[in-house]
Amino acid sequence: MDFTDAIAYVTGAAAQTGHFDSVNGHEPKAAPSRTGMTAAAWIQSWRPVQSSGLSSISMRFVVTLRIFSSMTQEPQDEIDPRLMTAVDAVLTYVCGHFAGLTGSRYVDLLGADGEELGVELGYAEQDKAKFRIADITIPVVINDCYPTAA
């Protein structure tokens, strides 16, 4: 199964907003830039969901888009507002283009088959650099991806 179009959809959504200095299709192995904001997307989980019939299994996978903003940026009072503006722009794009995936794939916005589209805020440290982060959960369903045998 090819997941590249889902990662490309999510990274494309982030890039379209114009809020990021870089957008990666992988979880960073080294600390992102300490200026501006960086977005990175990866597959977080993968589970079967109800199929349209007995002849196949549909799968649901969650793409995490993490937005990194350095905690050392100034003015500090603008870190969260900039982060939330970027989150809002990504959510606006995803909600407005949720059918933008190819074939029988779609974003499960309201969580009909599990966790819905959502955001968790927090902090992360990487390579001794501290970041304010937002993890956007983007659930993607692929219909009828595995045939079943009787």
Cis amide linkage into residue 48, ω under 30° from 0: no
Confidence of residue 100 (pLDDT cuts 50, 70, 90): low
Q: Quickly state the pLDDT bin for 146 (edges 50, 70, 90).
A: confident
Apex 72 CA angle, 41 and 129, nearest 5: 55
Check whether 150 has a pLDDT greater than 70.
Answer: no
Burial-class residue 1 by CB neighbours within 10 Å (0-12, 13-18, 19+).
exposed
pLDDT at 14: 96
d(CA 109, CA 21): 27
Contacts of 50 (CB under 8 A, 6+ apart): 58, 113
Of 62-66, 96-100, 110-114, give the lowest mean pLDDT range: 96-100
Q: What does residue 82 show for φ and ψ, rounded to 5 degrees?
A: -65, -45
pLDDT at 16: 93
Q: Which domains does the chain have, with CATH numbers?
A: 4-147 (3.30.2000.30)
Mean pLDDT, range 114-136, rounded to an integer: 96
pLDDT at 1 over 60: no
Tell me the mean pLDDT in the region 64-83. Answer: 95
State yes or no: pLDDT of 15 exceeds 70.
Answer: yes
What pLDDT score does 79 carry?
Answer: 95
**Which of helix, strand or coil describes residue 19?**
coil
Residue 88 C-beta-side C-alpha neighbours within 13 Å: 6
d(CA 140, CA 1): 13
pLDDT in tens, 17-62: 999 999 999 999 999 988 889 999 999 998 998 766 778 888 888 9
